[in-house]
Amino acid sequence: MKAVQLARTRIVYSETAFAELVLWQIPQSVAGSAHTFKYRLAYVVRGECVLRYDNEAGKGDHRHVDGKESRYAFTSPDQLIADFQRDIARWNDENHNS
Mean pLDDT of the residues in the chain = 94
The string of pLDDT tens digits covering residues 63-79 is: 999 889 999 999 999 99
Band the pLDDT of 98: cuts 50, 70, 90: low
**pTM (predicted TM-score):** 0.91
Distance CA 43, CA 13 (A): 10
Beta bridge partners of 70: 63
- What is the average pLDDT across 30-41? 94
Asked if residue 97 has pLDDT above 70, the reply is no
Beta bridge partners of 10: 20
